[in-house]
Each structure stands twice: as C-alpha cells, then as structure tokens.
Amino acid sequence: MSSGNAIRGSRAGAGPSGEAVRGEAEPRTQVSYYCAHGHATRVSFADSAPIPDQWDCMKCGLPAGRDRLNPPPPPKIQPYKTHLAYVKERRSSKEAKAILEEALAHLKDRRERGEVIY
C-alpha cells in the first residue's frame, strides 16, 4: 500500500487548475488559412492581436492564406548546386582551360626547383 503522503489526481509541479484561480481567458478569434494542397488550418488569435495574412500550413508546411480559392503559391525551391556548378556559372570553358594551364605551369616550376617532392 502507499504511505499516505502521495498527491493524488495531480502531477508534480502542477499549479492551480480552473479558470477561477487563473483569471478570465482573453477573448479569441479563430481564423482559417488554406494552402495550395487544399489543407485548412484554424488558428486562434486574441482579439487584440493583429491577424497575419499568411500562416504556415500545419500539415505540409507550405504558406497558407486566408482566401480558400486563391491560396499562396508554393515557394520556388532551388536545386542543390555543387561547387563545380557555381564555378561554371562564373567561368567559360576557355577561361577554365587557361587557369588550369597556368596552375600546372606553376606546379611544374615548383617541382623543378625542388619545392614539391611528389
């Protein structure tokens, strides 16, 4: 059996329960948001709080707007680019070949002087 000093019906650290002890709840407004996938998200805001035009969908994470028929479009996702892809955006093949020739000539010169062992 128990020792008799356990608190029953409550968890440790729980505060007072009931609205009478906590005070009255702030008046609320529920707003619906709709994403491009057709999901509906209902969010409660205090009457005194500003209501945003967009909210993130709780199901898919896309931006959701207040107009059911015209939800915001999904954001454009840029594919991952490798370092080589970024280099190719900045340099033409001709420039790349010239840079490579210059680097190889510099390495060959260092090897001839004994700076590079391999």
Same domain, 31 and 61: yes
17 belongs to a structural domain: no
pLDDT at residue 1 in the model: 52
* Residues in the chain with pLDDT values less than 50: none
Domain containing 105: what range?
83-112
The answer as to whether 29 is a domain residue is: yes
Query: 95 lies in a domain?
Result: yes
Q: What is the CATH number of the domain that holds 33?
A: 2.20.28.270
pLDDT at site 87? 85
- Give the chain's domain count: 2
- pLDDT on residue 19: 57
Count Cα atoms within 13 angstroms, Cβ side, for 40.
7
| Rounded CA separation 38/75 (Å) | 16
In a domain, 92, yes or no: yes
- What is the model's pLDDT at position 37? 93
| Per-residue confidence (pLDDT) for residue 115, from 0 to 100 | 84
Q: Is residue 18 part of a domain?
A: no
Whether residue 34 is found in the same domain as residue 61 = yes
The pTM score is 0.52
Q: What is the dihedral of CA 38, 42, 47, 53, to 10 degrees?
A: -30
Q: 18 in helix, strand or coil?
A: coil
